[in-house]
Amino acid sequence: MKQLKCSQMHPQHGNLVINLRFSGKYLFMKFSKNNPQENQMIQQLEKKGAEIVERAGWLRINMFKNQDLVKIGNIEFDVTKITREETENILFDFYKDRYTQAHFQVEEIK
């Protein structure tokens, strides 16, 4: 399992912190309802058909529910033909790049 902590000081919303965990095709996100970036991300994932379940303050997001061939960023792959670790690495790299581009301070948690 890989983990990212993304933080940013926002002029309207204060200190924003997003905690992400990656496990195979699942993304786990520590959820706080007052974070506009998290809410936007959840809406985008729901629109794309992701299955989202909330438990104990964490969201479990099945990124590829009922999908085989998917595209994340510039990478297109068949989730049935690559390993769990490869899927995890693709998701990790994608979100690390996206939050870095959005000017968050991104830290890998070991």
Instruction: Quick: pLDDT tens for 59-105.
Output: 999 988 878 888 888 999 998 899 999 999 999 999 999 999 999 99
**Residue 29 identity (one-letter amino acid):** M
The 10s digit of each residue's pLDDT in 23-63 is 998 999 887 766 777 788 888 888 888 899 988 889 999 98
Q: Judge residue 37's burial from the number of C-beta atoms within 10 Å of its C-beta, 0-12 exposed, 13-18 middle, 19 or more buried.
A: middle
* Domain that includes residue 91, residue range: 2-109
**Number of domains into which the chain is organized:** 1
Q: How far is CA 4 from the centre of its chain?
A: 9
